[in-house]
């Protein structure tokens, strides 16, 4: 599973886009620099509870909606993440890793 900061950031991005806001617009509405929104959505920074509440208010969603991210961590996405991690590893080791991963998915 991805780190919670990454999942939270992806969920904020998903909701922001669904509401038709750019990062710049959201940043202006909550009183931060656009790069702050970029870093939160990228999973590099975590917003404070106060800032998260302000984002929820601006996007008109309950704060708990930001933690509804199970759909963001699907088996297909996990396999893509694994692919990205094991690039450059021998094909033999890749096959072993895939067998191990598939064992946990059952």
Query: What is the tens place of the pLDDT at every residue in 49-98?
Result: 999 999 999 999 999 999 887 776 666 666 776 777 777 778 887 787 77
Q: Are residues 38 and 78 in the same domain?
A: no
Number of domains within the chain: 2
Digit-coded pLDDT (tens) for 5-53? 998 999 999 999 999 999 999 999 999 999 999 999 999 999 999 999 9
Give the length of the chain: 106
Q: If DSSP states are collapsed to H, E and C, what string results for 17-70?
A: HHCCCCHHHHHHHHCCCHHHHHHHHCCCCCCCHHHHHHHHHHHCCCHHHHHCCH
> 0.75 exceeded by the pTM?
no
**Cβ(36)–Cβ(45) below 8 Å:** yes
- Predicted local confidence at residue 91, as pLDDT: 83
> Are both 80 and 64 inside the same structural domain?
no
pLDDT at res. 9:
95
Residues 15 and 49 in one domain: yes
- Token output for 25: 């617009």
Q: Please, what is the end-to-end C-alpha distance for the chain in angstroms?
A: 15
Do 19 and 62 lie in a common domain? yes
3-state DSSP call for residue 12?
helix
What pLDDT, on a 0 to 100 scale, did the predictor assign at position 102? 67
- Residues 40 and 66 reside in one and the same domain: yes
Name the residue range of residue 81's domain.
74-105
Whether residues 37 and 79 share a domain: the answer is no
Q: Domain containing 60 — which CATH number?
A: 1.10.260.40
pLDDT at 31: 96
């Amino acid at each position: 599973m991805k780190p919670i900061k990454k999942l939270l950031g992806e969920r904020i991005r998903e909701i922001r886009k669904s509401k038709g806001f750019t990062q710049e617009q959201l940043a202006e509405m909550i009183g931060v620099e656009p790069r702050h929104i970029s870093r939160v959505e990228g999973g590099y920074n975590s917003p404070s509870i106060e800032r998260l509440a302000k984002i929820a208010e601006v996007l008109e969603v309950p704060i708990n909606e930001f933690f509804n991210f199970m759909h963001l961590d699907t088996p297909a996405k996990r396999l893509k993440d694994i692919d990205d991690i094991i690039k450059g590893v021998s094909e033999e080791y890749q096959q072993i890793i895939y067998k191990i991963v598939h064992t946990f998915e059952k």
